[in-house]
Amino acid sequence: MQEKDKLRQLEQENASLRSALRAAETAKPKRSTSIWPWLKRATTSAILGKNLKQSINQLYTELPRNVQQDTMAEVTANLLHRLTRIGIFALVVGLVPLLILLTQTWILDNQNEKLEHQNELISSQNLLLDQQINLEEGNRRSSYVFLMSNIMDKIDEELKNTRNGRRQLSEEIIGRIVSLSHAFRPYRYLENNRLIPTPLSPERGQLLYALVNSRLDLPTYDDIFAKANFSYSDLPRANFAGAYLKGINLSYANINHGNFKDAILDGANFQQSQLDYAIFDNTLMNEANFRQANLEHSQWYNVLAQGISLAMANVRAGFFNGDFSNAELEGIILHDATLNYIVLRNAFFFNSNWVNRMAQYNLKGSFSLTDNYNIEQDYIFDSGRNIQDTVFRLIPRNDTPQLQFSICESLVLNLIRSAPALQKLDQELRQQGDRSKYELQSSPYLLAEEGLQDSLFTFSRSGQDTTQFDQVLWVKFDPEDGRLWTISPAAGEITIHKYQKEMYDNFLQNCQ
């Protein structure tokens, strides 16, 4: 009986224990799924580490008297291990931004290279487009060449007309020539697979060259040059020897290595033209305009260039011989130029230090500005006699006989050339290809060792074929009474000539 009671009691206790166990299991809190506790533990473990924490706890347990050597060694080793791990971690963390910056820089460099390549392609494309546009313009201009051929055929027909002995052109043909010259506009063309830097018109140059070689009547040339436009003409190495180009507009043209020997360029416009290595020999070029022209290494020999404008012209290493009276010389570039027997009477400039600057130009030759000229201040007046500007002129010195002789010879030549009959003779000879010129034989100003001294000025003009006496002409001028006459040895004729009276007045003012 007692055993049964005990067994029953044990079963009840067992049941109550199971109930308590179930209740305990039921009441057990659920495991948190939040990431923050895990992150906290992971961070602590990463920074401190489990071993370091245990070794520190062990050290605290053994303090203050029972600290073991192994405990201190373990704490020290764990500290060094943790410091090394943190240093490596910090290095890695620091390298990450650096690697990102390096990668970004590399990407930017590649991008810049691609952009530069793209810009080069765009520039190349623009250059090709520019070339295409200019070539199309050149093709359009070249279509006018057929029109020029038709005009030249018409010119040939009129010149072959037996009734046209003076080689004149009709107003209709002159009008067509003028219109064509304006239609031939300048453009940039390819030269050595590159566009030339400034626009030029080869067609205008061809038209001018054809007209010059047609040997037209001089009034016809005057009509054409007064209305036509030959600026920007492309005429490298052009041969205009003996050509009549009075009043022509050749500004901005390319005439490098051009030959203007015996040419007539009075009143011609060569402003800002390219004339390097050009030759001006026995050339008439009064009142011509060479402002800002490039004339390096040009040759000026026995030229008549009164009133010419050389303002700001570049004449480096040029050679000068002739009459440049009343020339405008402001800003002229004369480095290494050679001055030989040159007349600069009344040549002017606007800066009083112009002559002093000549010392910096390394001028060559036997001529000296300071030895032959004084500088005098003058004024430019308007129509109302109001002062517009102040200029400085070169006035010949009285104690320079050689210069005086050059000036007087030049004045007499101008006087001779002003005679209408001699002008006509000169034009006829030039049209026939005669390149003769007046040669001084005697003068009141010649010294004994220089030639024949006489009271008269005597000039001779001989043709190229000097065996024929009718091609020799003697020209005499009496400075006392102003008489001018010519003698033809073949015919034995003496002819008195009229000329411009102001020429004689100018001679008396400067040479008596």
pLDDT in tens, 209-226: 999 998 898 899 999 999
The DSSP string of 284-341 is B-TT-B-TT-B-TT-EEEEEE-TT-B-TT-B-TT-EEEEE-TT-B-TT-B-TT-EEEE
Pair 150, 118 in one domain: no
> How many Å apart are CA 69 and CA 67, to the nearest integer?
7
Does residue 451 belong to any structural domain of this protein? yes
Does residue 34 belong to any structural domain of this protein? no
Pair 217, 122 in one domain: no
Of residues 478 and 71, the one with the higher pLDDT is 478
Q: Which amino acid is at 235?
A: L
Pair 225, 271 in one domain: no
Counted domains in the chain: 4
Name residue, tokens 């606007």: 350
Does residue 25 belong to any structural domain of this protein? no
Q: Which two tokens stand for residue 457?
A: 């000025």
Q: Which two tokens stand for residue 231?
A: 């600026």
Pair 94, 180 in one domain: no
Does residue 24 belong to any structural domain of this protein? no
Going by pLDDT thresholds of 50, 70 and 90, the confidence category of residue 468 is very low
Pair 348, 242 in one domain: yes
Pair 161, 265 in one domain: no
Rank 42-51, 83-92, 290-299 by mean pLDDT and report only the highest. Answer: 290-299
Rank 268-282, 365-379, 439-453 by mean pLDDT and report only the highest. Answer: 268-282
Does residue 20 belong to any structural domain of this protein? no
The range of the structural domain enclosing residue 85 comes to 41-139
Check which CATH number belongs to the domain holding 319 and give it: 2.160.20.80
pLDDT at 472 over 50: yes
Does residue 7 belong to any structural domain of this protein? no
Contact by Cβ (8 Å): 273, 252? yes
Full-prediction pTM beyond 0.75?
A: no
Going by pLDDT thresholds of 50, 70 and 90, the confidence category of residue 342 is confident
Going by pLDDT thresholds of 50, 70 and 90, the confidence category of residue 185 is confident
As a whole number, mean pLDDT of residues 351-363 equals 80
As a whole number, mean pLDDT of residues 73-77 equals 74
Pair 81, 95 in one domain: yes
Name residue, tokens 């050689």: 402
Pair 190, 311 in one domain: no
> How many Å apart are CA 285 and CA 266, to the nearest integer?
4
Pair 155, 189 in one domain: yes
Q: Where a domain ends, among 114, 139, 164?
A: 139
Q: Where a domain ends, among 69, 104, 139?
A: 139
Q: Where a domain ends, among 199, 234, 269?
A: 234
Contact by Cβ (8 Å): 410, 323? yes
